[in-house]
Amino acid sequence: MSAHPDTATSPDEGHYNFAYLDEQTKRMIRRAILKGIAVPGYQVPFASREMPMPYGWGTGGVQVTAAILGADDTLKVIDQGSDDTTNAVSIRGFFEKTAGVETTTRTSEASIIQTRHRIPEALLTEDQVLVYQVPIPEPLRFLEPRETETRKMHALAEYGLMHVKLYEDIARNGHIATTYAYPVEVNDRYVMDPSPTPKFDNPKMHEMAALQLFGAGREKRIYAIPPHTKVKSLDFDDHPFEVQKFEKPCGLCGAENVYLDEVILDDKGGRMFVCSDSDHCEDRRSHGHLGEMAADPAASHLASTGEERA
């Protein structure tokens, strides 16, 4: 994010330019980012580059990260909240190799967090940037296939159609059954797809201190939510927006009010629910919080009390 010296000079043969992309490309992407920040929620077209990874693996997010990365940044990459899945590990490795930046799994230590489909549980600060990988940036796409028409609808703020989708949800399921990619209205103007994050994370976007950037590589769009911006999840007066609720706390760290993943343990129906944010879970456990399924002597004690409570 801060100036990095000597990156504009041509690198030796056999070396990558800082953060893989050439300087002109990064300038182009930064211009798109600035425009996105100036018009919160508006999808800015940009000349997305071919990246050394397949579409769907975060080519948009990687380009945004490459454009804003500085030599003194610390990068964290998560995939579904987890630091140790293939996508997260390979993107982290990619920037270690091409930019030589520090990487971390600790949310609080990162200055840039690239994410696929989660927002960290820990509160983000004004010093941090959250970069989302977006597969389909257009929230109206599945209702209106014509790009010319959706652009016009955004331009004229004609968003009635978005509610048609929510209406269908209620008509079919009795409640708004959209659980991810839940449409939001940014800064009282643009309706935006928050990428396929669970709707559990939508309230975190509202007035977030960190800058949020969204990159869609295949669809060639960048959009942004500046810090401390109003983000409202769409709903009906008689069917207000609600986030998912979990019956049990995290099996490993006992955290409540966090987003949990279901983990199948065996083929006899055994399962556990654990924090989707692996760093948050580890951090809590290192501070002595233990869930009822954690492999610790103290856990058996907690498990029994847990059963009594249940």
Partner 1 sequence: MTDQTTMLEPNFVPYQENDEPLLRVSGVTRYYGDRLGCTDISFNLWPGEVLAIVGESGSGKTTLLNCLSTRLAPTAGAIEYRMRDGSMRDLYQLTEADRRLLMRTDWGFVHQSPADGLRMTVSAGANVGERLMAVGNRHYGNIRATATDWLERVEIATDRIDDPPRAFSGGMRQRLQIARNLVTHPRLVFMDEPTGGLDVSVQARLLDMMRRLVADLGLSVIIVTHDLAVARLLSHRIMVMRHGKVIETGLTDQVLDDPREPYSQLLVSSILQA
Which residues carry out catalysis? 41, 250, 253, 275, 281
Asked if 164 touches partner 1 (CB under 8 A), the answer is yes
Does 158 participate in binding partner 1 (rule CB under 8 A)? yes
CA atoms within 13 A on the CB side of 223: 22
- What is the Rg, in whole angstroms, of the alpha carbon atoms belonging to the chain? 21
Query: What is the residue type of 14?
Result: G
Binding flag, residue 174, partner 1 (CB under 8 A): no
Alpha helices in the chain (DSSP H): 23-38, 59-68, 86-98, 147-155, 160-173, 202-205, 278-286, 297-309
x/- string (CB under 8 A) for partner 1, residues 238-257?
A: xx------------------
CB of 200 to partner 1, least distance (A): 22
Which residues, at least 6 apart from 64, have a Cβ–Cβ distance to it below 8 Å?
29, 33, 114, 131, 213, 214, 215, 222
CB of 178 to partner 1, least distance (A): 14
| Least distance between partner 1 and beta carbon 180 (Å) | 20
Q: Are the CB atoms for 264 and 299 separated by under 8 Å?
A: no
Specify the stretch interacting with partner 1 by CB under 8 A; choose among 49-57, 127-135, 157-165, 223-231: 157-165
Question: Judged by CB under 8 A, does residue 152 bind partner 1?
Answer: yes
Stretch that binds partner 1, among 32-40, 165-173, 179-187, 266-274 (CB under 8 A): 165-173
Which residues lie below 8 Å from residue 179, measured CB to CB, with a gap of 6+?
A: 198, 199, 244
Residue 171 interacting with partner 1 (CB under 8 A): yes
Contact 232, 202 (CB under 8 A): no
- Answer for which of 97, 146, 163, 271 binds partner 1 (CB under 8 A) is 163
Asked whether position 206 contacts partner 1 by CB under 8 A, the answer is no
Q: Which of 2, 6, 24, 172 binds partner 1 (CB under 8 A)?
A: 172
The candidate with the shortest Cα–Cα distance to 51, out of 94, 80, 92, 111, is 94
**Minimum distance of partner 1 from residue 244's CB (angstroms):** 20
Contact residues toward partner 1 (CB under 8 A) are 143, 152, 156, 158, 160-161, 163-165, 167-168, 170-172, 235-239
